[in-house]
Amino acid sequence: MVRILTKDRQFEGVLMPSVHTESVVLKLSSGYNVGILKSSVKKTVQLGKRISSLTKPKKHIHVSVKKTVSILHTGGTIASKVDYETGAVGAHFSPDDLIEMFPELEALVNLNSRFLSNMWSEDMRFSHYNTMAKEIKKEVDKGVDGVIITHGTDTMHFTAAALSFILEDLSIPVILVGAQRSSDRGSSDAAMNLVCAIEFMTQTDFAEVAICMHKGMSDDMCWILPGLKCRKLHSSRRNAFQPVNAQPYAEIDYLTRKVHIVTPHFRKKDPNKKLILQLFKDVRVGLVKTHPHMFADVFTTYTGYDGLVIEGSGLGHVPINKIDSDTSEHQKIFAQLQNLAKKMPVVMASQTLFGRVNMNVYSTGRVLQEMGVLGNFSDMMPETTYIKLAWLLSNYPKKVKEMIGQNLRGELSERSLI
Active site residues: 77, 153-154, 232
Which residues touch 245 (CB under 8 Å, ≥6 apart)?
A: 229, 353, 354, 355, 356, 379, 381, 413, 416, 417, 418
CA dist 240 and 153 (Å) reads 9
Asked whether the CA dihedral 388, 389, 394, 396 is positive or negative, the reply is positive
CA-closest candidate to residue 410, choices 145, 209, 149: 209
CA dist 233 and 212 (Å) reads 15
CA dist 307 and 154 (Å) reads 24
CA dist 389 and 285 (Å) reads 8
Angle separating helix axes 156-166 and 126-142, nearest 10 degrees: 60
User: Exposed (0-12), middle (13-18) or buried (19+): which is 279, by Cβ within 10 Å?
Assistant: middle
| 221-226 and 209-214 beta bridge pairing | antiparallel
CA dist 178 and 194 (Å) reads 8
